[in-house]
Amino acid sequence: MAVRMVQDRTWQLQAACRGPESALFFPPTYAERKDERDAREGHAKSICALCPVRSECLDYAVGVGEQHGIWGGLTEAERRLLVTPAPT
């Protein structure tokens, strides 16, 4: 399914993150304190929680190995946990 999402990105037109608040989904170009990062990520995730294409967004990010930003309500570290096999 992720491969299909990589090719078809029309879902992005319905994304709740489009618009002036899109900067919340990526770290700023300056050093960000932990409390600032937590607040920014929390606000971004609250937008994701209401997004009609959240699952498509997450599928896309995992499918292409997106390493930056919040996609589908998950940070890059949270997405890595989805694709990293658990130690046996």
pTM: 0.83
The number of angstroms, rounded, from the C-alpha of 74 to the middle of its chain's C-alpha atoms is: 5
Percentage, residues of the chain above pLDDT 90: 78
Residue 66 falls inside a structural domain = yes
Cα–Cα distance measured from residue 41 to residue 2, given in angstroms and rounded to the nearest whole number:
24
Residue 21 falls inside a structural domain = yes
Cα–Cα distance measured from residue 50 to residue 52, given in angstroms and rounded to the nearest whole number:
7
Question: What is the domain extent for residue 56?
Answer: 2-83
Residue 37 falls inside a structural domain = yes
**Amino acid at site 65:** G
Please report which helix (H) or strand (E) contains residue 8, including its range: none
Domain count, the chain: 1
Cα Rg for the chain, rounded, in angstroms?
13
Looking at per-residue confidence, does 7 or 41 come out higher? Answer: 41
- The pLDDT tens digits for 25-62 are 999 999 999 999 999 999 999 999 999 999 999 999 99
